[in-house]
Amino acid sequence: MQKTFHCRISTTSERVCVFGTGDMGRSLGLRLLQAGYGVVFGSRRPHSSSSLIPHGAQVLGHAAASQSAHLIFIAVQREHYDFLVPLANQLKGKVLVDLSNNLRKNQYPEANAEYLQSLVPGAEVVKGFNTLSAWSLQNGPSDANRQVYICGESVEAKQAVIAVAIKLGFSALDQGFLSVARELEDFPLQLFPQWRLPLRIAIGLSAAFFFYLLIRDIIYAYVTQSKDISFRIMVSLANKVCPIVSLIMLSLCYLPGVLASFLQLYRGTKYRRFPDWLDRWMLCRKQLGLLALGFAFLHVLYTLIIPIRYYVRFKATEQNRTTQFDTTTAWRGDSYLSLGILGFGLYVLLGITSLPSVINTLSWREFSFIQSKLGHLTLLLCTAHTYLYGWNRFLSSSTYKWYTPPGYMLCLVLPSVVLLLKLLLITPCVDRTITRIRQGWERGADQRNPKDSQPLIP
Ligand code: NAP
């Protein structure tokens, strides 16, 4: 059976057929021609379509075209697949590549590829190439999109499609059987799935802190002193919201890892699944971190423009009184700025090392050193930067307008908790236990097999 297949492929492998002369069919045909394949298009109107197709390709009716190749790409919308039913006999034994996508998820009861297989049961249907766009195919091998996902029942049919994909300059990923087709069809319909939760958190935090600070800073001044300082919304308020959101989101990057460690310690094993919410949270840490970096970047920009603000220049000329130099204040100010700069520098490093092209150049140890060790150091520096900003104002009652703490105090809660928990985890006795658990040790197993038992905390 396998032998017959190889024979057929070897005689016709350089010729492929594309049903449909639309955008996708033409782009694919062009790329196939560029890769050295002979291309035959199958069209409803071969004569009128011939002027549209790439130079060097042939256009025939569907039945005639299908005879000229073993591999047929179906670049036609699913709604029109019934034109294949009368061709079922001619298509027996052929490899049909289903390129189709839908307009929305669950548009049809079954996947398009499964539907195609049911219409042409004698053919070997392979789902593939649907995650590429006609535009990226036309762009040629220089296009950044280099992955082709495929699935299907027949290993040989998938190999034939993989061979074409590789020749076109793609790397092909076999996703398994045809039952995966629906997932592949949903793939182009995804809208930033991993960014949704981080974006919601960022928007929620920004809105909450904006209104909190609006009441505390602007409305408070208006109500108690009849002062209109609403102009501060644009820069001062924004420059308070950005670092607050940034620090909280950076803590949210490191909190799930810490929680997961405590869960493993509590359970005494790493072989039990984390709850779904923790899994989902851990999966979006990169996006949380990148958004946190974005807010930190805005904070830097807002801070840099402070000296050119009209309000600041006006205040500077108004206050021409001489004050005595205070070394403590100078130390505090310089330390505050320096920690902020160092924290931001490491923040940027974390952002850069989360790029796939950079990750690929790092060993696992290098990656985890930067993302975990330097990541926690970044959190520590940014937290210390915020504590120095507060300095002794934590103790002054005038800080608590309408009995509410300032935003920077609120935002210190989470990073302080994360850093304290992390400190607990790196104490030698806890660290030893967690390291053993991660190496496969299980608490209950000691009693079951006393030979394995070693004291964890001597
Ligand atoms: P299109 O431009 O509308 O072309 C579809 C082609 O299908 C037509 O040119 C026509 O070719 C053929 N066709 C139309 N009605 C037919 C019928 N009743 N019976 C038989 N054939 C018919 O669409 P497209 O953008 O190329 O997309 C084609 C397929 O590729 C779709 O399933 C789409 O989901 C998928 N896809 C497209 C892209 C993209 O970027 N465009 C990306 C990924 C996947 P003839 O006139 O020559 O018969």
Which 8-state DSSP code applies to residue 275? P
* Residue with CA nearest ligand 1 atom 43: 130
**Which residue has the CA at smallest separation from atom 7 of ligand 1?**
76
**How many Cα neighbours within 13 Å face the side chain of 278?**
15
The string of DSSP letters for 79-132 reads GGGGGGGGGTTTTTT-EEEE----SSTT-SSS-HHHHHHHHSTTSEEEEESTTS
Ligand 1 nearest-atom number relative to CA 27: 26
pLDDT for 321 equals 64
Q: How far is the CA of 21 from the centre of ligand 1 (A)?
A: 7
Q: What count of residues does the chain have? A: 458
What 3 state SS string does 399-420 have? HCHHHCCCHHHHHHHHHHHHHH
Query: Of 169, 146, 172, 145, whose CA–CA distance to 158 is shortest?
Result: 172
- Residue identifier of the C-alpha nearest atom 1 of ligand 1: 22
For ligand 1, atom 27: residue with the closest CA: 24
For the chain, domains (ranges, CATH) are 2-189 (3.40.50.720), 193-318+325-446 (no CATH)
Residue reference for tokens 């006609």 = 134
The edge-to-edge listing of strands for the beta sheet with 71-74 is: 58-60, 38-42, 15-19, 71-74, 95-98, 124-128, 147-152, 171-174
Shortest-distance Cα residue to atom 35 of ligand 1: 100
Return the residue whose CA atom lies nearest to atom 36 of ligand 1. 100
**How many helices (H) and strands (E) in the chain?**
21, 8
The percent helix, strand, coil of the chain (3-state, each to 5) is 65, 10, 25
Output the pLDDT for position 168. Answer: 93
84 CA to centre of ligand 1 in angstroms: 14
Question: Ligand 1 test: best mutation among 27, 77, 99, 125, most atoms within 8 Å of CB?
Answer: 77
Residues with C-beta less than 6 Å from any ligand 1 atom: 20-25, 43-45, 49, 75-77, 80, 83, 99-101, 130, 133-134
What is the pLDDT at residue 318? 77
Nearest atom in ligand 1 to the alpha carbon of residue 135 is: 40
Find the 41 Cα to ligand 1 centroid distance in Å.
12
Q: Which of 76, 87, 127 most suits a substitution to test ligand 1, by most atoms within 8 Å of the C-beta?
A: 76
In ligand 1, which atom is closest to the CA atom of 82?
19
CA of 270 to the centre of ligand 1 (A): 49
Looking at residue 316, its pLDDT comes to: 82
The residue to mutate among 23, 116, 148, having the most atoms of ligand 1 within 8 angstroms of its beta carbon, is 23
* CA atoms lying within 13 Å on the CB side of residue 364: 0
Ligand 1 atom 19: the closest Cα is on which residue? Answer: 80
Which residue has the CA at smallest separation from atom 42 of ligand 1? Answer: 133
The number of the ligand 1 atom at minimal distance from the alpha carbon of 41 is: 47
- How far apart are the CA of 153 and the centre of ligand 1, in A? 24
The preferred substitution site among 17, 18, 19, 24 for testing ligand 1, maximizing ligand atoms within 8 Å of CB, is: 24
- Check residue 5 and give its pLDDT: 39
Q: Of all protein residues, whose CA lies closest to atom 8 belonging to ligand 1? A: 22
- Per-residue pLDDT at 417: 98
Sequential pLDDT tens for the chain (458 residues): 333 434 344 444 489 999 999 999 999 999 999 999 999 999 999 988 778 899 999 999 999 999 999 999 999 999 999 999 999 999 999 999 999 999 999 999 999 999 999 999 999 999 999 999 998 888 776 666 688 999 999 999 999 999 999 999 999 999 999 999 999 999 999 888 889 999 999 999 999 999 999 999 999 999 999 999 999 999 999 999 999 999 999 999 999 999 999 999 999 999 999 999 999 999 999 999 999 999 999 999 999 999 999 988 888 887 766 678 899 999 999 999 999 999 999 999 999 999 988 998 999 999 999 999 999 999 999 999 999 999 888 888 888 999 999 999 999 999 999 999 999 999 999 999 999 999 999 987 766 655 544 544 44
Q: Given the CA of residue 49, which atom of ligand 1 is nearest to it? A: 47
